[in-house]
Amino acid sequence: MSETMILVVEDDDAVRDLIAAALETQEYNCHTAANGTQALLEATAQNPDAILLDLGLPDLDGIEVIKRIRTWSNKPIIVISGRTEDKDKIEALDAGADDYLTKPFSVNELLARVRVTLRRLAYMNDETKSDSAVFRNGSLTIEYASGCAYLDGRELHLTPNEYKILCLLAKNVGKVLTRTYIIKEIWGGTWENNVASLRVFMATLRKKLQEDTAHPQLIQTHVGVGYRMLRSGGDEKGKTNRG
């Protein structure tokens, strides 16, 4: 197995060293950058498997770095933010980030996010290879060709919109999707008209999936931000991310 390479972009030397040291204990190969310009150069030169990116950089805004990287790379980006505003996380996710961590975070939290993200990457690579017509995740099965979804082998009776939302979450399994993104994909419209509808569809969908909202197995809520389908067997199940 080839070594996994992670690019750490952070202007605070102490934090950058701490993150790099934590990743190296797990035998990840680390490259670092202290600003946005260096981050773009390293990302191009090294083509890392994943990028940990601080949003508050001295030269370029972190959001701008995400946008530029996304013009040529789909590799996972985990945003590290000192900002507590949901708005920044949403902006970063809509620009193409996969996940976010809010400072201060623990080393264990950081490593857990990296593992989830790399698992998502491995899954995406498998999907591309097999071009799978059937999605399986724990007790959930979706047969794209017939447009049917099953829970523990029993067919789920979903409305067209519930099915579309379920497929969208499944195709992005492991990734946090913002409400704005989901609304745009499902209704093609704007946020204002559909935010209440999305909430209703999510509630009915979860009920059909027999989700206990306090301990979700499949769909995690990110309060004020959006939703993520958890990958069965190892993602941080049941943990609602409020950071």
From the list 46-54, 61-69, 86-94, 142-150, the region that binds Ca ion by CB under 5 A is 46-54
Please state the closest distance from residue 71 (CB atom) to Ca ion, in A: 23
Residue 137, beta-bridge partner list:
140
- Tokens 């099953």 locate to 150
Give residue for tokens 């609602």.
240
86: buried, middle or exposed (CB in 10 Å: 19+, 13-18, 0-12)? Answer: middle
Q: Nearest approach, Cβ of 63 to Ca ion (angstroms)?
A: 13
CB-based contact 159:73 (threshold 8 Å): no
Question: Shortest distance, CB of residue 54 to Ca ion, whole angstroms?
Answer: 4
Segment lying near Ca ion (by CB under 5 A), choices 56-64, 89-97, 182-190, 234-242:
56-64
CB-nearer residue toward Ca ion: 58 or 160: 58
| DSSP secondary structure letter of residue 184 | H
State the minimum distance, in angstroms, from the CB of residue 8 to Ca ion. Answer: 12
Q: Which residue in 18, 40, 56, 102 binds Ca ion (CB under 5 A)?
A: 56
Range in contact with Ca ion (rule: CB under 5 A) among 31-39, 49-57, 122-130, 217-225: 49-57
Pick between residue 54 and residue 235 the one whose CB is nearest to Ca ion.
Answer: 54
Biggest CA–CA distance in the chain, Å, is 54
Q: Tell me which stretch binds Ca ion (CB under 5 A): 53-61, 127-135, 177-185, 234-242.
A: 53-61
Please select the residue that binds Ca ion; options are 6, 19, 48, 54, rule is CB under 5 A. 54
If binding is defined by CB under 5 A, does position 162 make contact with Ca ion? no
- Closer CB to Ca ion, residue 35 or residue 232? 35
Residue 234 φ/ψ, nearest 5 degrees? 130, -25
Quote the least distance from Cβ 113 to Ca ion, whole Å.
18
Give the x-and-dash track for 7-36 against Ca ion (CB under 5 A): ----x-------------------------
Measured CA to CA, the distance from residue 199 to residue 166 in angstroms comes to 13
How far are the Cα atoms of 57, 78, 139, 186, 229 from residue 167, in angstroms, in the given order? Answer: 36, 23, 15, 10, 10
Between 57 and 142, whose beta carbon lies closer to Ca ion? 57
Nearest of 72, 54, 51 to residue 63 by alpha carbon: 54
User: How many contiguous H segments (helices) and E segments (strands) does the chain have?
Assistant: 8, 12
Q: How far is CA 190 from CA 57, 187, 199, in A?
A: 31, 8, 14
- Complex with Ca ion: residue 33 or 166, whichever CB lies closer: 33
Q: Where are the alpha helices (DSSP H) in the chain?
A: 13-25, 36-46, 62-70, 86-95, 107-130, 160-171, 179-187, 191-208
Nearer to Ca ion, 82 or 234 (CB): 82
Residues lying near Ca ion in the complex (CB under 5 A) are found at: 11, 54, 56
